[in-house]
Structure 1
Amino acid sequence: MSHPAPLFSPARNAAQRDRMANLPTDANFLAPIIAESLIDRLAMVTRRFDRALLIGAHDAALIEQLRARVGALTLVEAGPGLAAHTGAHRAEADAMDLPIGSFDLIVWPGGLEGINDVPGALVRCRALLAPDGLLLGTLLGDGSLARLRRALMAEGVRSIARMHPQIDLASMGNLLQRVGFTMPVVDVEALTVRYGDWRGLVRDLRAGGLTSRLSPAPPPFTRTEAAHIAAAFAAQADPDGRVAEQFRLVHFSGWTPHPDQPKPARRGSATASLAEALRPGKA
């Protein structure tokens, strides 16, 4: 039986990850924002996690913060150079070969949106977690980079897929439930960043490992195409000449089932009528 060609190239992903490791620590402006959100959410959980897994080893500050909060921290990293430098297990997130049920916390600070088998990666995370284990992560979600997308569709630019499909909140919540996570929570944090030109945005995307991993790789822009894109991006500028681009960070969490977790009420078990409660005079 034939299998569909992969949407994303693991080799390109690995190269991107290793390139991130060679950049200055402050080049990726999204990393500290994502790390702060994940640590804040972790701090709201009133229990200690003894065995944690971090998917992605590029953010040394996040690694340090997690090591201060958990018993033992294991790293998984797709970039071979970065994995060797940090002592991480080298693997793609949808192909992690680690013992089943060996963690009670998995933290994933970006990258799920560029995985070939998203449900399979979530199933693997669920399998790696012990009962009552927590998956906590962030991805670049639906609605991000709208002005760049518009510029790439400018007249005079070849109509070739260059940007990744995006995952929205509803789909992410449904995926978590579908693979067996309980008490899923999904919300979005919208960040607006203003750019003087489209190349500044591209530099930030490269620093964050967010450029295209599509397979096969799309052909490079011609000089004429680059000029059209630059003009189309600049045409969306505010009166001060800067373009406001949006990054929509989708934060998600879910727990592996455990008998002691709270259960949702059985459908139809309510003792009061919603219609009755909404009747005038009942407020």
Structure 2
Amino acid sequence: MPTPPRLTDRHALTLHRARARDDAALFLHETARDDAKDRLQMVNRSFTDVAIVTPFPRIWQPAFPTARCIPDDEVLAVEEGSCDLVIHGLCLHWADDPVGQMIQCRRALRPDGLCLVLTLGGQTLHQLRAALRQAESELTGGLSPRVAPMGEIRDLGALLQRAGFALPVADSDPLTASYATPLHLMRELRAMGESNALAARLRRPTRRAVLLRAAELYTQAFGSVDGRVPATFEIITLTGWAPDDSQPKPLRPGSAAQRLSDALGTAETPLND
């Protein structure tokens, strides 16, 4: 198989995450953790062998004290068929091979095991991305990679099927945070460990003029009446099950015993070929 393109500078990402010592800045991981726990409470099943893929085990471990927390390395440190639950916790957007990550999660599951993936979606930081694009284009005449690409819900949902999961479900939960200025948002992204770690990024500091112009454009386009600015974070949740014969199967096309028009009490209008 061809090697996937190198998206992330893993060394830079590791250094950025090591600076994320303020747990208050990791509110997105706390939100994902709490959402995962709420969803699992609605599943009528007990899980005994749990693996959590996360760069911040200190956020997840207290809520899942018996789980094994493993880093989001290219090769996940989990044995095949060793789990009945795998949670991939808000780090898929940095994966060079997201399909490979999903396949590894499926292989780690026993039949009818559950995989729960929480990841940042395509609407995340759309305000900041737009402001940076315009500012850099105006002042430098070009664009450089600054924000990790994040998939849309339809594309991310398709990953479950490509990885071989059964009963796939994807849903989105946009969150809006408020900051005093766009520069405060940029500082918090650094505190989150989410600074630019793209392999193709510029290897020199961004010009101050570009940052100030981006902040100005951001405030003009998105600022609120109280002077603060919003930032969107979209958390997409993917749910899939390792295939098992006990799971419900879709009916074969054409096997229905009753027409939908009869059930709805309406007339059926054939389509022209």
Establish whether TM, by shorter chain, passes 0.5: yes
Q: 1:57 to 1:210 in 2, by over 3 A?
A: closer
Q: 1:209 to 1:278 in 2, by over 3 A?
A: farther
Could you tell which deviates more after superposition, 215-224 or 118-127? 215-224
Secondary structure, aligned partner of 1:64 = coil
Could you tell which deviates more after superposition, 25-34 or 186-195? 25-34
Q: Distance in 2 between matches of 1:197 and 1:159?
A: 23
Shift of 1:206: 2.3
Which residue in 2 is equivalent to 1:82?
none
Which residue in 2 is equivalent to 1:85?
none
TM-score under structure 2 length normalisation: 0.88
2:68 pairs with 58, 68, 74, which one? 74
Shift of 1:211: 2.5
2:115 pairs with 131, 135, 150, which one? 135
Shift of 1:164: 1.5
Q: May I ask how many residue pairs the two structures share in their alignment?
A: 262
Could you list the per-position Cα deviations for residues 119-139 of structure 1 after superposition, in whole angstroms to 9, with x for gaps in the alignment?
Answer: 111111111111111111211
1:118 has 2:98 as partner = yes
Shift of 1:280: 4.6
Which residue in 2 is equivalent to 1:144?
124
CA contact (8 A) 1:28 1:204 kept: no
Q: 1:195 to 1:180 in 2, by over 3 A?
A: same
Matches within 5 A, 1:81-120: 92=73, 94-120=74-100
1:192 pairs with 176, 179, 196, which one? 176
| Counterpart code for 1:75 | C
Q: Distance in 2 between matches of 1:5 and 1:256?
A: 28
Q: 1:142 to 1:4 in 2, by over 3 A?
A: closer
Could you list the per-position Cα deviations for residues 186-241 of structure 1 after superposition, in whole angstroms to 9, with x for gaps in the alignment?
Answer: 10001111222112111232233332221033232112212211211121212222
1:235 has 2:220 as partner = yes
1:264 has 2:247 as partner = no
Which residue in 1 is equivalent to 2:236?
250
TM-score under structure 1 length normalisation: 0.85
Any stretches of 5+ residues in structure 1 without a counterpart? Answer: 79-91
Could you say what the CA RMSD is over the residues aligned between the two structures, in angstroms? Answer: 2.2
Could you tell which deviates more after superposition, 2-11 or 198-207? 2-11
1:53 pairs with 51, 54, 64, which one? 51
Q: Distance in 1 between matches of 2:188 and 2:209?
A: 23
Q: 1:5 to 1:186 in 2, by over 3 A?
A: closer
Could you tell which deviates more after superposition, 179-188 or 150-159? 150-159
2:143 pairs with 148, 159, 164, which one? 159
Which residue in 1 is equivalent to 2:18?
18
Shift of 1:57: 4.9
Any stretches of 5+ residues in structure 2 without a counterpart? Answer: 269-273
Shift of 1:268: 1.9
Q: 1:97 to 1:26 in 2, by over 3 A?
A: closer
CA contact (8 A) 1:139 1:249 kept: yes
Which residue in 2 is equivalent to 1:88?
none
